């Protein structure tokens, strides 16, 4: 083994490869100036951006349609944001773009590295791999390559397959929706959470999507017609139609169910699928492993999955007949979903 580390020009860091020095510096700047070391809104949006850049790739149509994790969504923002599936990713682009002036790196490297650093702030998340060396995109991705929540599930599976991902790898990637909130789908509402713990990378999203919803609530575009159960709806939660369909599709239902209360499978699957996502369309033989620059994640909360207060096993709607784990129910009449990472329940009071 080679234990020799090089001193970085900033006089602060050392690295196994001089090419990684810039990412050690960038990690510090991201954490102090962009994410505040938190698994909050800006971290969530940075993670989402990794997907929307990388998925602009098609084995069938070839590189003219996009070269994957190449920074195209930032470099050709005006074109790619014409695709409605990219609604809202401008926040992450605006937040990160100034760093291209500050660091000699490509847009693709910036996006994937920022996503990996962001995830390290989320309790329960794995430490993601980071490979450096994506060339800048020379053209935008074609419109229509990013899955939409209202797409039929077979169309979503086909789209993912065309970028190199199996249906179960997609399930692994959807652990991301455990730290996710929608700003665009419901009129006049922001930060509508997909699970009851939007600041914790846990298995709650896999459980909560299996709870029978209130079918009488009118659904927004892309929201599942069978919405979340009332105790979660009262807290303003929602579920994507695509997440609901994937949870119940014969190809994925058993794997989805297997994720419930299985944090190791969720974190391991997410780690591996994100490692693939981060290099879609890229020649990894020309890249340098700078994973060492990704911060070690904050410790997990280690709380088992629970039925949110006001729900329970009677609401389970299962499409796989493997045995379901026995889980406790949180005490109380209704759950409380924090709106800020510090636990505050008023979005206006969140630390900025």
User: Which residues are catalytic, by number?
Assistant: 52
Q: Are 14 and 35 in contact (CB under 8 A)?
A: no
* Residue 95 or 261 having the CB closest to Mn ion: 95
* Residue 23 or 157 having the CB closest to ligand HEM: 157
Sign of CA dihedral 8, 49, 44, 283: negative
CA distance linking residue 24 with residue 6, whole number of Å: 12
CA distance linking residue 184 with residue 159, whole number of Å: 22
CA distance linking residue 271 with residue 290, whole number of Å: 15
CA distance linking residue 64 with residue 171, whole number of Å: 28
* Residue 149 or 281 having the CB closest to ligand HEM: 149
Query: Looking at the DSSP assignment, which residues form a beta bridge with residue 307?
Result: 329
Closest by CA to 131, choosing from 151, 160, 111, 146, is 111
Tell me whether residue 28 is annotated as binding: no
By CB under 6 A, the count of residues binding ligand HEM is 26
Q: Is residue 150 at the binding interface for Mn ion, with CB under 5 A as the rule? A: no
Here's the x/- map for ligand HEM, 175-214, by CB under 6 A: it reads as -xx-xxxxxxx-----------------------------
Minimum distance, C-beta of residue 277 to ligand HEM, in the bound complex (Å): 7
Residue 230 touches which of Ca ion, ligand HEM, Mn ion, none (CB < 5 to 8 A by kind)?
none
CA torsion 221→226→230→234, rounded to 10°?
-10
Question: Binding Ca ion by CB under 5 A: which of 41, 195, 223, 243?
Answer: 195
Q: Is residue 149 at the binding interface for ligand HEM, with CB under 6 A as the rule? A: yes
Tell me whether residue 72 is annotated as binding: yes
Here's the x/- map for Mn ion, 174-213, by CB under 5 A: it reads as ---------x------------------------------
Q: Is residue 242 at the binding interface for ligand HEM, with CB under 6 A as the rule? A: yes
Minimum distance, C-beta of residue 24 to ligand HEM, in the bound complex (Å): 23
Question: Binding ligand HEM by CB under 6 A: which of 21, 26, 40, 47?
Answer: 47
Q: What's the count of helices (H) and strands (E) in the chain, helices before strands? A: 14, 6
Residue 185 touches which of Mn ion, ligand HEM, Ca ion, none (CB < 5 to 8 A by kind)?
ligand HEM
CA distance linking residue 148 with residue 86, whole number of Å: 9
299 Cβ contact partners less than 8 Å away, ≥ 6 residues apart = 123
Closest by CA to 206, choosing from 320, 345, 85, 54, is 320
* Residues forming the site for Mn ion (CB under 5 A): 183
Give the footprint of ligand HEM on this chain (CB under 6 A).
41, 44-45, 47-48, 50-51, 88, 147-149, 156, 173-174, 176-177, 179-185, 222, 240, 242
């Amino acid at each position: 083994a080679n234990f020799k580390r090089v001193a970085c020009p900033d006089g602060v860091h050392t690295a196994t490869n001089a090419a990684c020095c810039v990412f050690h510096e960038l990690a510090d700047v991201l954490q102090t100036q962009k994410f505040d070391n938190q698994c909050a809104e800006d971290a969530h949006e940075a993670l989402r951006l990794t997907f929307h850049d990388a998925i602009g790739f098609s084995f069938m149509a070839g590189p003219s349609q996009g070269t994957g994790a190449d920074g195209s969504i930032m470099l050709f923002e005006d074109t790619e944001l014409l695709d409605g599936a990219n609604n809202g990713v401008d926040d992450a682009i605006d937040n990160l773009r100034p760093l291209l002036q500050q660091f000699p790196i490509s847009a693709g490297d910036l996006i994937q590295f920022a996503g990996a650093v962001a995830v390290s702030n989320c309790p329960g998340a794995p430490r993601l791999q980071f490979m450096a060396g994506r060339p800048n995109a020379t053209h935008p991705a074609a419109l229509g390559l990013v899955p939409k929540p209202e797409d039929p599930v077979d169309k979503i599976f086909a789209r993912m397959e065309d970028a190199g991902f199996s249906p179960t790898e997609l399930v692994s990637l959807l652990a991301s929706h455990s730290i996710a909130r929608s700003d665009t789908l419901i009129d006049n509402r922001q930060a509508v959470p997909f699970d009851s713990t939007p600041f914790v990378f846990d298995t709650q999203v896999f459980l909560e999507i299996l709870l029978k919803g209130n079918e009488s609530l009118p659904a927004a575009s892309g929201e599942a017609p069978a919405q979340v159960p009332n105790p979660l709806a009262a807290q303003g939660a929602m579920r994507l139609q695509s997440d609901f369909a994937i949870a119940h599709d014969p190809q994925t239902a058993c794997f989805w169910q297997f994720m419930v209360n299985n944090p190791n499978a969720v974190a391991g699957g997410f780690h591996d699928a994100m490692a693939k996502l981060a290099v879609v369309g890229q020649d990894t033989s020309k890249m340098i492993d700078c994973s060492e620059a990704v911060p070690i994640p904050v410790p997990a909360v280690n709380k088992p999955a629970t039925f949110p207060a006001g729900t329970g096993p009677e609401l389970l709607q299962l499409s796989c007949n493997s045995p379901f784990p026995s889980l406790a129910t949180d005490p109380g009449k209704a759950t409380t979903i924090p709106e800020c990472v510090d636990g505050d329940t008023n979005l206006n009071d969140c630390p900025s």
